[in-house]
Structure 1
Amino acid sequence: MPVQPGHVTAGRAAIALAPLVAAGAAHIGPAVTWLPGLRRRFLPRLAGAGRADHIALTFDDGPDPRSTPHFLDALDGLGVRATFFVLGESVVRYPALTRETVERGHELAVHGWAHDRPWLPDPARDGAELTRAVRTLCDIAGRPPRWYRPPYGILTSGRWAAARRTGLRPVLWTAWGRDWTADATPASVRATIEAELRGGGTLLLHDSDRTSAAGCWRATLGALPGIVATCREAGLSVGPLAEHDVGA
């Protein structure tokens, strides 16, 4: 049976596209680590599993002058220190608030330069933006960051490689509060966190609504005292990733 011209054209197109498909798969494949069950079971260090008597408290998306100072005050009142995963573009915009966060005893980590979704492969961009964020934090905060959490928790191959080159350790989370939604309340944030709360866990919350529903940070702020109280009642101390013994 003779081969039809259309079949030949389709076959050639498939062959031509194969390298692009393979490159795309290699780029986005590591993002499967976003799945919490898989991460906790097979990659506990990436999930942020640390010492069993400790909870790592982390906040994403700041610094934000409308909301971050309220969290700093609340944490002072609770006697708790945390890790803030900051955006480079916000650090440049609010250097005084960035420095104040460090001066009040908190740890700064890298959340990227901007809060974007890295669907298309661009290793050069990934490397340049992460390097820029690290240098900016060093210049403004006066100390090199150790940790990296990409926006949305999406770790592509390019971002893995960029983190390695800049000396950053990727860390995601074991429990989150779903505090970025418009219908979040202090009760819902606390209940969502506590459903997955275990000793050695890393908690993901947000101290800014710049990339989420307007005003949602207020629900997080309202939930914070109860979350800390629950941890302490369970015999768990609360602090930054630097005190969490995540491992090498």
Structure 2
Amino acid sequence: MSPVSGRARRTAAVLLPAGVALAHIGPAASWLPGVRLLLLPGLAGTGRPRHIALTFDDGPDPASTPLFLDALDGLGVRATFFVLGEHAVRHPDVVRETVRRGHELGVHGWTHDRPWRPAFARDAEDIARTVRTVHDLTGHRPRWYRPPYGILTTGRWRAARRAGLRTVLWSAWGRDWTADATPESVRARVTADLRGGGTVLLHDSDRHSSPDCWHATLTALPAIVRDCREAGLTVGPLRDHGPTPEPGGSAAAAGSAAGDRGV
């Protein structure tokens, strides 16, 4: 074997795994708000100009989710709850009650893990398993997928698409998973990025966040809804948000264009 062919083999041995890793994690560039809002409006959850989609992640949680349901009832608002499969099977009554009160369920995955390594078969099974669980518990098939931490990979995008789900991240959030979150800080962060057609991310559980941080979110919720209404915006679930593009183009664009805790 010549020295040139030997170097070529060694170079290929290095580049191939690097290429696989880039193809896997490339769509995670969509986590960046600037990239998402400018290039991937469908993935950012952009909908009808005078509507705000209100979404919650990480439930169901029997300690906190029912309090959010009560608060939303009082506000006359419905929302989309992205649930984790492992919690849904443990708290089926909370899942059913969420739907009974008129809210929509989305898929957040089976567990709240970070997808650093390619695992398409596992991702496909976890997402499909969560879809089956939601359908079996409620009789309704979910339409939406949001990956844990908002980290979208090629495998998770493909798995969601195979399961018939559209992937949606967000355009405004409250950073309500942190230990120093307050009702004022949650409201301020949401309203700073609040625009018609936007999707707001909040959390109805602290299972994957700082203990008791959901109290800040719950307290801030009436003011956030009031801010929307005073701006002439209606608030509701993703199903009322208007059409969003299929995620295929979004994930592909994120990959070719190619942290924080709490989603």
Normalising by the residue count of structure 2, what TM-score does the alignment of the two structures yield?
A: 0.90
Question: Among 222, 229, 239, which residue is 2:236 paired with?
Answer: 239
Deviation at 1:9, TM superposition (A): 7.9
CA deviation profile, 1:68-104 (whole Å, cap 9, x unmatched): 0110000000000000000000000000110000000
Match status 1:83 vs 2:80: yes
Partners in 1 of 2:69 and 2:222 — Cα distance?
13
Partner of 2:193: 196
Q: Aligned residue pairs: how many? A: 244
8 Å Cα contact 2:54-2:79 kept in structure 1: yes
Partner of 1:100: 97
8 Å Cα contact 2:45-2:244 kept in structure 1: no
8 Å Cα contact 1:48-1:246 kept in structure 2: no
Partners in 1 of 2:150 and 2:113 — Cα distance?
11
Deviation at 1:13, TM superposition (A): 3.9
Question: Among 105, 108, 112, which residue is 2:109 paired with?
Answer: 112
Partners in 2 of 1:34 and 1:158 — Cα distance?
16
8 Å Cα contact 2:107-2:131 kept in structure 1: yes
Partner of 1:178: 175
Partners in 2 of 1:95 and 1:126 — Cα distance?
23
Q: Map of 1:200-211 to 2, 5 A cutoff?
A: 200-211=197-208
Deviation at 1:114, TM superposition (A): 0.4
Higher CA-based Rg: 1
8 Å Cα contact 1:110-1:148 kept in structure 2: yes
Match status 1:213 vs 2:249: no
Partners in 2 of 1:239 and 1:29 — Cα distance?
31
Q: Which amino acid aligns with 2:23?
A: A
Deviation at 1:11, TM superposition (A): 6.5
Runs of 4+ off more than 6 Å: 7-11
Question: Among 129, 139, 157, which residue is 2:126 paired with?
Answer: 129
Partners in 2 of 1:168 and 1:104 — Cα distance?
23
Partner of 2:160: 163
- Percent identity of paired positions between Structure 1 and Structure 2: 67
Q: Give 5+ residue unaligned stretches, structure 1.
A: none
CA deviation profile, 1:3-33 (whole Å, cap 9, x unmatched): 7xxx998765443222111111100001101
> SS in structure 2 opposite 1:130?
helix
Q: Which amino acid aligns with 1:152?
A: Y
Partners in 1 of 2:244 and 2:148 — Cα distance?
23
Q: Give 5+ residue unaligned stretches, structure 2.
A: 246-263
Deviation at 1:196, TM superposition (A): 0.3
Name whichever of 177-186 and 17-26 sits farther off.
17-26
Match status 1:33 vs 2:51: no
Partners in 1 of 2:6 and 2:63 — Cα distance?
58
> SS in structure 2 opposite 1:245?
coil
Match status 1:72 vs 2:78: no
Question: Among 45, 49, 52, which residue is 2:49 paired with?
Answer: 52
Deviation at 1:141, TM superposition (A): 1.4
Partners in 2 of 1:75 and 1:148 — Cα distance?
22
Match status 1:154 vs 2:159: no
Pairwise CA RMSD? 1.6
